């Protein structure tokens, strides 16, 4: 039963519009509907803002101010460590930020849970290719049905591993987000090769590389960027090393990416699969499940889970427990001709 | 050629810093372009085609640059004169070609070419405009770099009986099979490979070695390995064998030799974020050069006189090129661009 909001909540009148006029990220950079915070009452989460702002959690027409401590970040951004009051009921919340001159909202940005279980189920959705004409059914309809299936599943969170759009176009990202927001669960998104058009992915979903914790487990989401050396020389490898170290104490360490080929990004593979191997690695791109002879990364110990494409109607549920993760057989939940 | 100093603003260079630095400029998207930065004036000149350019490498005589760039069906090696003229894409057998390195006489370029893990070392003869596969057809090799044959023979790492040219290659051999893959550092001749004794005794397992860089005089090879539990910088020399020179529980990456071969610069996470450090291999003393708690500093490149290190830092948010003296003092920002500026490579002095 959903608890009522505490009496200290303030009535606020803001428009329902989230992000900016194009649905791109604005004042609030994180958390958002592709990288939400999932916490217990009384817990804290980090928000990254383009500038210092007051923050609230909002549910419908009610909101609660967050206790915030902040610090400036590199590049002029602002990091706010937000504490959620103990009496906030479980649910999905909008994060609202206000300055004297600006206001921004990110929907499905904060999920408050009453507890984390040792056992939970995650849903893996990949390669939605919104905007594609490859099937008789519209890609949007297929994705809508995929989300309906996820909503009625046992899943506690959803991993969406790239190629969310077919061509990385603004309208395709907007269509993807509109359908994504029909999901009742936290959704964690990463970029795929089809999403790289100008800087559109970053406009809608930053950052490219991030970590999050869910229950006792640590997740690293990253973009393999198709193994181009120019990217290998950039900042991502250091983030992966720092993130890998940060989730070392977690029960399971789980990597998410759109794509993996053994010759891609050797430095990142040394970090994630050789020096301190991740426990599991989940990705898509292949538009098929991994076969019996594709159980692990070539370096040795990290098992892989590859899920068929959602544009073909597929999702995969994965059981996560103290015994490890157990991928179930992919389900085809949407009709595709 | 267009000067883009209005876009890439020179902030402040030391009066003593001179020469040109090649670097990549772009965004997270495939628009990386090789540019030249005049370290004295701050002028920036784009010279690459801007097709996801990567891994710029100067010829030892400083007259030309080689780098990766998108090519029909994959990636090719692009060669251009230091003034940006006469740019051309080499003709390749393989679609995918990566990480070019010049021979000491600037007449040949080695790179890896192939598909997936099926990678070979290719040597391109610029005079003959012809590729040759080195190391034999049945080995998987990546990241070639040239060294002196005489030094390897003197160290008894390859046989003296070989009829070899003055230079051979050091490369990373991809070994094992899927599920048990590993790497070995090898000397590579036109016909075969010679695995080098890079493991410290008692070598109980197959370590994964990477980023091999021969000493400028060929008397030693630096590399990184997970021998010891985490990634460390090692040096292999004829006198001492293989020994750990960075020895820290945090990861240590990407060693490069100073031009005089006395010091190694490398990247380390020992203070939290990625920083640039130097080590004197004879004493194992490590000195910080560019280290910060809230930002990364990486990819050091020595000035030809060895007095300066250029490197990348994201201390202002985006990766930019900086320079510091080798003690890490007199740090100056050289570029200031809203995108990424990185992968600096300092132009060698032209030999008289």
Q: SS in 3 state form for A130-193?
A: ECCCCCCCCHHHHHHHHHHHHHCCCCCEEEEECCCECCCCHHHHHHHHHHHCCCCCCEEEECCH
Question: Is residue A261 a part of any domain in this protein?
Answer: yes
The ipTM is 0.91
Q: What is the pLDDT of residue A76?
A: 85
Ramachandran class of B51: left when φ > 0, alpha when ψ lies in -120 to 50, beta otherwise: beta
Residues A138 and A68 in one domain: no
Mean pLDDT, residues A295-304 taken together? 91
Helix (H, G, I), strand (E, B) or coil at A124: strand
Scan for tokens 């010829």, then name that residue: B59
Which residue of chain B comes nearest to A206, CA vs CA?
A: B28
A337 is a domain residue: no
**Over residues B290-312, mean pLDDT:** 96
Min Cα–Cα distance to chain A from B33, Å: 9
Query: What pLDDT is recorded for position B203?
Result: 56
Task: Please tell me whether residues A124 and A108 are part of one structural domain.
Answer: no
Mutation target vs B (from A75, A167, A234; most B CBs, 10 A cutoff) = A234
Check residue A54 and give its pLDDT: 95
Q: Report the mean per-residue pLDDT for chain A.
A: 91
Beta-strand pair A280-283/A304-306: parallel
- Cα–Cα distance between A94 and A17 in angstroms, integer? 11
A268 three-state secondary structure: helix
Contact call for B117 and A230, based on CB within 8 A: no
Residue-level pLDDT at B116: 84
pLDDT of residue A261: 85
Note the pLDDT of residue B193: 93
Q: What is the mean pLDDT of residues B320-349?
A: 93
pLDDT tops 90 at residue A71: yes
Can you tell me the mean pLDDT for B277-285? Answer: 95
- DSSP strand pairing (B108-115 vs B118-125): antiparallel
User: Each residue of B23-59: pLDDT tens digit?
Assistant: 999 876 678 999 999 998 889 999 999 999 999 999 9
- Among candidates A238, A262, A300 on the partner chain, residue whose Cβ is nearest the Cβ of B296: A238
What is residue A21's predicted lDDT score, i.e. its pLDDT? 83
Mutate to test the interface with A, among B251, B313, B317 (most CBs of A within 10 A): B251
CB contact under 8 A, A275 and B230: yes
Instruction: Give the domain range for residue A16.
Output: 10-112
Separation between Cα atoms, residue A37 and residue A93, nearest integer Å: 10
Handedness of CA A285, A286, A288, A292 (dihedral sign): negative
Q: Report, in angstroms and rounded to the nearest whole number, the Rg of chain B calculated over CA atoms.
A: 20
Burial of A89 (0-12, 13-18, 19+ CB in 10 A): middle
Of A112, A139, A174, which closes a domain?
Answer: A112
Q: Is the pLDDT of residue A219 over 90?
A: yes
Chain A neighbors of B180, CB-CB under 8 A:
300
Helix (H) or strand (E) holding A267, with range, is: helix A266-269
**pLDDT average, residue stretch A29-35:** 97
| A195-209 mean pLDDT | 90
The CATH number of residue A104's host domain is 2.60.40
Decide: A176 and A194 in contact? Cβ < 8 Å: no
Q: Which of A180-189, B186-195, B199-208 has the least mean pLDDT?
A: B199-208
The average pLDDT across B102-126 equals 94
- How much is the pLDDT for A5? 46
In angstroms, rounded to a whole number, what is the distance separating the alpha carbons of residues A257 and A284? 7
Are residues A77 and B27, on separate chains, in Cβ contact within 8 Å? no
Average pLDDT for residues A28-51, to the nearest whole number?
Answer: 97
Q: Which of A69, A93, A112 is at the close of a domain? A: A112
Angle (CA) B20-B26-B31 rounded to 5° is: 115
For B283-310, give the DSSP string: TTEEEEEE--SSS-EEEEEE-TTSSEEE
Please check whether residue B342 touches A, CB under 8 A: yes
Same domain, A159 and A235: yes
Say how far apart CA A152 and CA B119 lie, in whole Å: 47
- Flag whether pLDDT at A8 surpasses 60: no
Burial of A322 (0-12, 13-18, 19+ CB in 10 A): exposed
The band of B345, judged by pLDDT with boundaries at 50, 70 and 90, is very high
For residues B325 and A137, what is the distance between their CA atoms, to the nearest angstrom?
A: 62
Reply yes or no on whether the pLDDT at B321 is more than 90: yes
Q: Which helix (H) or strand (E) holds A229?
A: helix A229-232
DSSP, collapsed to helix, strand or coil, labels residue B121 as strand
Residue A21 lies in a domain: yes
A260 & A322 share domain: yes
Four-residue CA torsion sign, B256, B144, A267, B36:
positive
At CB < 8 Å, which residues of chain A contact B?
A: 73-77, 196, 198-199, 202, 208, 228-235, 238, 241-242, 245, 261-263, 266-267, 270-271, 274-276, 296, 298-300
Q: Does A183 share its domain with A104?
A: no
- State the pLDDT at residue B337: 86
Instruction: For residue A196, give how far its alpha carbon lies from the nearest alpha carbon of chain B (Å).
Output: 7
Does residue A124 sit in the same domain as residue A107?
Answer: no
* B98 and A CB contact within 8 Å: yes
Same domain, A54 and A158: no
User: Model confidence over A242-298: pLDDT tens digits?
Assistant: 999 999 999 999 999 999 988 888 899 999 999 999 999 999 999 999 999 899 998
In a domain, A105, yes or no: yes
* CB pair distance less than 8 Å for B29 and A198: yes
Q: What is the pLDDT of residue B4?
A: 39
* Per-residue model confidence (pLDDT) at position A257: 96
Percent of chain A's residues with pLDDT above 90: 80
Q: How far is CA A82 from CA A175, A278, B136, B220, in A?
A: 30, 29, 60, 53
Q: Is the pLDDT of residue B204 over 80?
A: no
Q: Is residue A26 a part of any domain in this protein?
A: yes
Please report which confidence band the pLDDT of residue B173 belongs to, taking 50, 70 and 90 as the band edges: very high
- Tell me the C-alpha to C-alpha distance, in Å, between residue B282 and each of B196, B245, B262: 21, 9, 8
Report which of A165, A150, A176 is spatially closest to residue A315, judged by C-alpha positions: A150
Measured CA to CA, the distance from residue A256 to residue A124 in angstroms comes to 10
Give the mean model confidence (pLDDT) for residues A58-81: 92
Give B207→chain A minimum CA distance, Å: 9
Q: Residues A70-99: what's their mean pLDDT?
A: 94
What pLDDT is attached to residue A1?
39
Q: Is the pLDDT of residue B240 over 80?
A: yes
Say which of A198, A230, A266 has its CB closest to residue B54. Answer: A230
Shared-domain flag, residues A314 and A253: yes
Record: contact B24-A230, CB cut-off 8 A: yes
Among partner residues A73, A228, A267, which is closest to B54 by beta-carbon distance? A228
Percentage, residues of chain B above pLDDT 70: 92
Average confidence (pLDDT) over A199-221: 94
Asked whether the predicted pLDDT for residue A74 surpasses 90, the reply is no
Report the alpha-carbon distance of residue B210 to residue B184 in Å, rounded. Answer: 8
pLDDT of residue B255 exceeding 60, the answer is yes
A74/B317 CB distance under 8 A: yes
Burial string for B154-186 (b: 16+ CB within 10 Å, else e) reads ebebbeeebebeebbbbbbbbbbeeeebbbbbb
- The residue among B209, B257, B248, B212 whose CA lies nearest residue B230 is B248
Same domain? For A176 and A288 the reply is: yes
Size of interface A-B (CB pairs under 8 A): 105
**Cα A302 to Cα A25: distance, rounded to the nearest angstrom:** 34
Residue B162 has what pLDDT?
63
> Which residues in chain B have their CB less than 8 angstroms from residue A276's CB?
230
A142-153 residue pLDDT tens: 999 999 999 999
Length of chain A: 337
Confidence of residue B152 (pLDDT cuts 50, 70, 90): confident
User: What is the mean predicted confidence (pLDDT) over B68-91?
Assistant: 94
Based on the fold, state whether residues A156 and A214 are members of the same structural domain: yes
Between residues A110 and B166, which one has the greater pLDDT? A110
Nearest-neighbour CA in chain B from A51: distance (Å): 14
Q: Which residue has the tokens 């393989």?
A: B94
A317 lies in the same domain as A232: yes
pLDDT band at residue A232 using 50, 70 and 90 as cut-offs: confident
Sheet-wide strand order for B108-115: B97-102, B108-115, B118-125, B130-134
Domain count, chain A: 2
The arithmetic mean of pLDDT across residues A197-213, rounded, is 92
Query: Rounded to 5 degrees, what are φ and ψ at A149?
Result: -65, -40
Tell me: pLDDT of A24 over 70.
yes
Residue B282 has pLDDT above 70, yes or no: yes
Contact (CB, 8 A) for B152 and B214 = no
- Which residues of chain B have a CB within 8 Å of the CB of A270? 208, 210, 226, 231
* Cα(B27)–Cα(B341) distance, integer angstroms: 9
Indicate whether A223 pLDDT > 60: yes
Nearest to A234 among B231, B253, B342 (CB): B342
Q: Tell me A270's DSSP state.
A: I
pLDDT at B117: 85
pLDDT value at residue B12: 44
Pairing assessment for the beta strands B74-81 and B88-89 based on DSSP bridges: antiparallel
What is the rounded CA–CA span in Å between residue A272 and residue A266?
10
**Measured at the alpha carbon of residue B301, what is the angle toward residues B207 and A207, in degrees to the nearest 5?**
75
Q: What confidence category does residue B155 fall into, taking pLDDT thresholds of 50, 70 and 90?
A: confident
* Residue B43: both structure tokens together: 């002028």
For residue A137, being part of any structural domain is answered with yes
Name the 3-class secondary structure at A201: helix
CATH number of the domain to which A221 belongs: 3.60.21.10
Lowest-confidence pick of A25-39, A54-68, A216-230, B257-271: A216-230
pLDDT in tens, B130-145: 999 999 888 999 999 9
Share of chain B above pLDDT 90, in %: 72
Residues of A in contact with B68 (CB under 8 A): 229-230
Q: What is the pLDDT of residues A307-329, one digit of tens each?
A: 999 999 999 999 999 999 999 99
CB pair distance less than 8 Å for A229 and B27 = no
- The reply to whether A138 and A82 lie within a common domain is no
pLDDT on residue B85: 92
Q: What mean pLDDT value characterizes chain B?
A: 90
What letters, b where the CB count within 10 A reaches 16 and e where it falls short, cover B91-129?
Answer: ebebebbbbbbbbbebebbbbbbbeeeebbbbbbebeee
pTM exceeds cut of 0.90: yes
Task: Give the H/E segment covering residue A236.
Answer: helix A236-246
Specify if A4 maps to a domain: no
Q: If residue A241 lies in a helix (H) or strand (E), which one and from where to where?
A: helix A236-246
Whole-number Å distance between alpha carbons of B264 and B215: 9
Q: Give the distance, in angstroms, between the CA of residue A240 and the centroid of all CA atoms in the same chain.
A: 16
A26-53 average pLDDT score = 96
- End-of-domain residue from the set A112, A131, A161: A112
CA B161 to chain A, closest CA, distance in angstroms equals 35
Calculate mean pLDDT across residues A206-226: 92
Averaged pLDDT, A54-68: 93
Pick the more confident residue, B268 or A9: B268
Please say whether the beta carbons of B180 and B198 come within 8 A: no
Residue A1 domain flag: no
CB contact under 8 A, A233 and B55: yes
If you measure CA to CA, which chain A residue comes closest to B25? A230
């Amino acid at each position: 039963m959903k608890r009522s909001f505490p009496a200290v909540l303030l009535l606020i009148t803001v428009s329902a519009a989230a992000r900016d006029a194009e649905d791109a990220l604005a004042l609030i950079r994180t958390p958002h509907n592709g990288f939400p915070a999932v916490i217990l009452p009384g817990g804290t989460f980090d928000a990254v803002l383009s500038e210092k702002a007051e923050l609230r959690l909002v549910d419908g027409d009610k909101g609660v101010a967050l206790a915030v401590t902040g610090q400036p970040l590199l590049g002029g951004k602002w990091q706010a460590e937000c504490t959620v009051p103990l009496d906030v009921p479980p649910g999905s919340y909008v994060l609202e930020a206000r300055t004297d001159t600006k206001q921004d909202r990110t929907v499905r940005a904060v999920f408050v849970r009453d507890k984390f279980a040792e056992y939970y189920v995650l849903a893996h959705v990949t390669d939605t290719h919104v905007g594609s004409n490859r099937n008789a059914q519209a890609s949007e309809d297929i994705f809508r049905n995929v989300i309906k299936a996820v909503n009625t599943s046992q899943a506690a969170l959803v991993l969406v591993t790239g190629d969310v759009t077919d061509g990385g176009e603004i309208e395709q990202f907007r269509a993807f987000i509109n359908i994504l927001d029909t999901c009742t669960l936290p959704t964690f998104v990463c970029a795929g090769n089809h999403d790289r058009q100008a800087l559109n992915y970053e406009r809608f979903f930053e950052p490219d590389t991030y970590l999050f914790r869910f229950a006792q487990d640590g997740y690293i989401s990253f973009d393999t960027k198709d193994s181009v050396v120019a990217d290998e020389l950039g900042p991502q490898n250091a983030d992966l090393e720092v993130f890998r170290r940060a989730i070392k104490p977690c029960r399971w360490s789980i990597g998410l990416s759109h794509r993996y080929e053994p010759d891609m990004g050797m430095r990142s593979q040394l970090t994630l699969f050789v020096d301190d191997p991740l426990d599991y690695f989940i990705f898509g791109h292949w538009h098929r499940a991994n076969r019996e002879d594709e159980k692990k990364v070539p370096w040795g110990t990290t098992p892989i889970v590859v899920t068929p494409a959602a544009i073909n109607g597929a999702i995969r549920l994965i059981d996560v427990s103290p015994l490890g993760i157990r991928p179930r057989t992919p389900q085809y939940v949407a009709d595709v001709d | 050629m267009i000067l883009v100093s209005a876009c890439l603003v020179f902030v402040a260079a030391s009066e003593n810093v001179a020469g040109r630095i090649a670097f990549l400029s772009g965004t997270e998207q495939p628009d990386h372009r090789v540019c030249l930065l005049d370290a004295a004036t701050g002028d920036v000149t784009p010279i690459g085609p801007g097709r996801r350019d990567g891994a710029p490498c100067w010829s030892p005589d400083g007259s030309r640059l080689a780098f990766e760039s998108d090519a029909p069906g994959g990636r090719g090696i692009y060669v251009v004169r230091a003034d940006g003229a006469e740019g051309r894409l080499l003709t390749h057998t393989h679609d995918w070609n990566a990480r070019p390195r010049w021979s000491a006489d600037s007449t040949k370029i080695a790179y890896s070419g192939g598909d997936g893990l099926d990678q070979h070392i290719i040597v391109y003869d610029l005079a003959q405009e012809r590729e040759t596969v080195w190391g034999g057809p049945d080995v998987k090799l990546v990241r070639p770099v040239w060294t002196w044959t005489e030094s390897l023979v003197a160290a008894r790492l390859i046989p003296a009986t070989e009829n070899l040219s003055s230079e051979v290659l050091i490369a990373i051999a991809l070994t094992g099979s899927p599920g048990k893959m590993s790497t070995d550092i090898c000397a590579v001749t036109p016909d075969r490979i010679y695995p080098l004794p890079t493991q410290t005794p008692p070598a109980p397992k197959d370590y994964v070695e990477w980023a091999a860089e021969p000493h400028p005089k060929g008397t030693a090879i630096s590399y990184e390995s997970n021998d010891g539990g985490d990634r460390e910088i090692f040096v292999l020399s004829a006198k001492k064998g293989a020994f750990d020179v960075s020895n820290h529980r945090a990861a240590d990456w990407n060693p490069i030799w100073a031009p005089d071969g006395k010091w190694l610069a490398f990247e380390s996470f020992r203070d939290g974020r990625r920083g640039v450090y130097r080590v004197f291999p004879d004493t194992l003393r490590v000195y910080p050069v560019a280290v910060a708690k809230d930002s990364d500093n990486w990819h050091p490149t020595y000035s030809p006189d060895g007095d300066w290190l250029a490197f990348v830092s994201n201390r202002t948010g985006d990766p930019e090129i900086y320079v510091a003296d080798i003690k890490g003092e007199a740090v100056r920002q050289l570029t200031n661009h809203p995108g990424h500026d990185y992968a600096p490579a300092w132009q060698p002095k032209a030999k008289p």
